[in-house]
Every structure is written in C-alpha cells, then in structure tokens.
Amino acid sequence: MEGADDLLQPEELGEDQPVLPAVLTPKASAVRAVKKNDWALRSVLKVFVVKVDPNYAQPWQKCPQRSSSGSAFVLDTQQRIIITNAHVVANAVTVYVRRPGNPKKWRSQVTCMGKQSDLALLTVPEDAFWGDDLRPLVFLKEVPELQSPISVAGYPVGGDSLSITKGIVSRVSMVRYSQSGRLLGIQIDAAINPGNSGGPAFADMTEGTVAGVAFSKNVSSSTDNIGYIIPFPIVEHFLSEYRDRGAYQGVVSPGFYTQPMENPAQQQYLQVPEGASGCIVVKLEPSTEAAQHLQLADVILEVEGEPIAADESVQFRDDERVDYSHVISLKHVGDNLNLKILRQGQVRDVCFTLHKQQHLVGILHEVDCLPSYYVAGGLVFAPLSLPCMEAVYGSRKWRTLAPISVLQAFVQQRTSPSQQVVILVQVLSHEINHGYKYSVLPVETFNGAAVHNMAHLAAMVDGCDQPYLNFGLEGGRFVTLDRQQVIEHTPHILKINNIPSDRSEDLLGEEAAAAAAAGAEAAAAAAAGSELGSAEPGAAAVGQAAEQQQ
C-alpha cells in the first residue's frame, strides 16, 4: 500500500483519540429494526479497556493509565472464543465486553495475542454471558470478490450504540499491519473510524458470514473512504496456531530480500531463459537457513510452485495479483519453504526451514523488544528499538529527526541471536558527567572492546577495574568517566531522578548472564579480526586510552 505513513496506526484507533465524527447509518429507526430482527448483530460486542502503556523514553516507569474502547464479535460459543484486534487490548489492565442493548459489562480475559497480524482472542468466564440467544459468526472461507457488498458493524466514536456502515470491496493487496511487515488485506470504502477496530465486516448479515475484521483506515488528506479489514487467510493462520500450539508464534521470516527483474539487459546478464521470470536475491540474513541455501544474485523463479513475475507478484485470482511474500506469510514457524531458483544459468530446487522474524532492531513491544535500561554515572543506555524512537521523537517524526547512524541500524541484519544495538539515550545531568550532551547515539565500544548487547555492556562496566570508563560512540566520539566517582555518585543520581534501580530486570539473572557471555565471545571474535572492534575510529581512540591506563 502506498503511503503507509498516512495510515492511522493501531494504537490511535481507540475511542479516546481526536478524529472526525463516525459515519453513522442514516436512519436510526432502520438500524433499530435490523438489531431486533438480525441475530448476527447480537454477537457484535463493545470492548472497554483500561491500559497502561510502556514508556520507552523513561523505561524505569510506565505511562499514565488511560481508557479506550473498540469492537469484537463472538466466534465460537462452545469454546467461548471472542475475536478482536490486538491493538484494542494491547497493554490492557482490565477488559470488559458489553452485548448490544444490554447495560451489563462482563469481565473478559485475553487468551491469545497476535500483534503482527493485529488479532487477539478473548473469553468471558461467566456462564451467564453465553446464553442461548448468543450465536457465533462464521468467516467466509474465500476472500470476497471485488465490488462485493460489505457491512461494517461496531462501536465507533459519535455514539454508544451499535453502528453499521456499508460499502464494497475495492481492492485486495498487501497491507502494512504493523511496522514489522505487510500481510494480505482487503480495502473497502465503508466507513471505518476509531472504535470500529475489531468489529466484523459482514459479507451477509442475514447468514452471519464475515468477510474480515475491521482494523485500520487511511487518514491521508488526499484520500477518502479507504478502510482495511483482515481477511480469512490471515485470521485462519492466527487461529490455527492457537488451536495447534496454544499461542501465536508470529510471522515467519524467509531470510532473504529481493528486487524486481524487469530490465531486459539484467535478465540477459543473469541468463534467464526466454519466457521465464522471477526476482533477484539482493540480501541474506546471516543467521537464517536461507543464507545456507541461497546466494546473492540468485533468481527465484517459483515459490511453493507459484511462478513469480518480474514485478515480484504471483497470481492470486483471475486478473488479480499480489506480492509473492503472501505465499510465504501463510507458512508457520518450522515449516519448509520450497523455491525454484536460477543460479548461473542452472535451474535448481531449494528447500529450507522457516523461523521467526529476528530483527536486529526491535519493532513490536513484547514481540521482539521490551523496555530496558542501564544507568552508569548518569549515562542512560538502552537497546535501540522502534518504540524507543517513537517515544523520543514521536511516531510521525522519528524518521526525520533520528541520527543517520540510528536509521541505518534498522536495515542491518542480526549476526547472532543475542545481538543488540545499544544506544546512549540521554545524560542525566550531574557534575561527574559535565560537558556531555550526547543523546540517541550508538555505543560501539567500552574501554576498547566491542559492545554486543545491553547485558554485555553492563557486565563489562560492573567488572571494570581500570580508573576510567570510556564509552566509544558512533563517529569516533567517546565519553570518559571516573570509575570511582561513578560508583560513589550513581545512587544519588538515581534518587534525584526517581529511578528505582541502575538497571531493568531483564539485565538481572541467568538470562542476562548468558547474554553477557555471548557478548564476550563476540567481542573476542571482534578483537581477533572481525569487522567490529578496533577498525572503527572511536574504538581505536578508546582502545589506546585503555592501554595507557594499564
């Protein structure tokens, strides 16, 4: 989808956000008649949530408590399953649901969370909620055709009762669900507003068939009436993992990146046979199985038997095509991926196992990152993550305000499971760190040794017996602190800034020790000649200073 930045982000779809008024059905009497006569609407629920969001800018505390609302619907009365969007109940302290026309709010529990597909499952423990008049809605097994009628039911802003808007299926394409990637989505022109999230988009209200789950809208000033719903293939992928494994493992990573191959000269250079097409492998993730089976400049001709066109698309339906990544996104962690590739003019088959996405920089809270920090002499360190950048610079502005070195880290690949990009987030003012005004800069070394992750940095600082602590930053800059002064004054710095501890809980215990040990091994490899370490100007300067201390 073009202009992903113009999408209203999931966390902005709560009822407490300032947005345009919801588009309500024109005749309230007609809506009341439908509610009385159509059993399906009795299964559309309003969700009331009180949540406490993490504070990545000051990770030792959380954001103030706030309330929001959304929609949901009953999926299975026997198993007592209710479905909604993940962003509706993310970071929830309490969740209540209410049936239409009934003032009672029922306490519910989150049983499964899938942030990458923006889906979540709820249940209500009380038997009285699951009365005989409550019937499950059923998903349409196929993605609806273009121009198929759609009715979106939910509880958007502008009122407290159920609202219904109507439209058609406008497009089927890959849609950005979160910053972690794109999945198949259905574009509709029925109005979707904050509070609609998690509600059903009916294909046939009288039969109770649902085409998808409402989850997003485009808020660009140049567009109008563009909403998105989650189709059955994505919902089924999520539900099958819950049924088979009891939890959602997320979207798999293919382990490679490609570019289109539309230029005739490029096709001739790569020895592509007449009539064949595909895409070119341009990057491999070192820690994945794909790196063991693929090479740069390989041409991927087919994925799971589906021919790939030169524009990286595969056939979806008659006269409809989608990106080939859709085929891969329907795979589960541990599944095999079958490719047909062209390498130096020779066609061969390749098969390897798929694993979870492992970004070097964390993208989603509680999926691949958590608030983490370490304080030494007023220097506040944290792992680089998207939530951290959004907290520091704002969700809309971080791409333009963040340093180039930080932005570059977002496109780099992880070389080991424990690797993190550690940044100096801020300097808490004190006489021992006077003169240092750095913020949001990658930390490359400590006393000349490459920093591998947060636990590794904390362990090196804790175990340092040299008189000075030298933190090598990106661009050759470095910060020097007196070790004895750091030991003496850090408790006072923590106290005046109301910070309970010099480090977060994830930097304590056995897992932190294992991560620190992995970091030490990586640093040793760097010192032996890897691309990390003393090849950088900052590392050389700090390394020389460390030698002079000894």
For the range 288-292, what are the long-range contacts, defined as Cβ-Cβ under 8 Å and sequence gap of 24 or more?
Answer: 288/253, 288/255, 288/256, 288/355, 288/358, 289/255, 289/352, 289/353, 289/354, 289/355, 290/254, 290/255, 290/256, 290/352, 291/255, 291/256, 292/352
Q: Give the single-character DSSP code of 474.
A: G
Give the pair of three-digit tokens for residue 448. Answer: 């000349």
Q: Which residues of 211-244 are buried (b: 16+ CB within 10 A; e: fewer)?
A: bbbbbbbbeeeeeebbbbbbbbbbbebbbebbee
Backbone angles phi, psi at 95, to 5 degrees: -135, 130
Q: Which of 439, 359, 362, 358 is nearest to 393 (CA)?
A: 439
Of residues 43, 68, 87, 117, which has the active-site annotation? 87
Run of H or E residues at 405: helix 404-409
Q: Cα–Cα distance between 13 and 117 in angstroms, integer?
A: 16
* CB neighbourhood size of 158 (10 A): 16
If you write DSSP's letter for every residue of 234-271 in order, what string do you get? HHHHHHHHHHHHSS----EE-SEEEEE---HHHHHHTT
Q: Tell me if 230 sits within 8 A of 119, measured CB to CB.
A: yes
How far apart are the C-alpha atoms of 225 and 53, rounded to whole Å? 30
CB 47 within 8 A of CB 72: yes
- Catalytic annotation on 456? no
- 469 - beta bridge partners? 481
- Evaluated on CA atoms 463, 466, 469, 475, the torsion sign reads negative
Which residues are 51's β-sheet partners?
A: 66, 92
Quote the CA–CA distance of 410 and 528 in Å, as a whole number: 26
Helix (H) or strand (E) holding 490: helix 483-496
- Told to judge if 118 belongs to the known catalytic residues of this protein, a careful annotator would answer yes
- Residue 318 annotated in active site: no
Of 69, 118, 253, 456, which residue is the catalytic one? 118
Phi, psi of 249 (to 5 degrees): -90, -10
| Bridge partner list, 188 | 169, 227
| Residue 94 CB neighbours (<10 A) | 12
> Could you please report the per-residue DSSP string of 505-548?
GGGSSHHHHHHHHHHHHHHHHHHTT-SSSTTSHHHHHHHHHHHH
Q: What is the CA radius of gyration of the chain?
A: 26
CB contact at 8 A, 297 and 426: no
Please pick, among 69, 151, 197, 534, the residue that the annotation labels catalytic.
197
Query: How far apart (Å, rounded) are the C-alpha atoms in residues 425 and 384?
Result: 9
So which residues are the catalytic ones?
A: 87, 118, 197
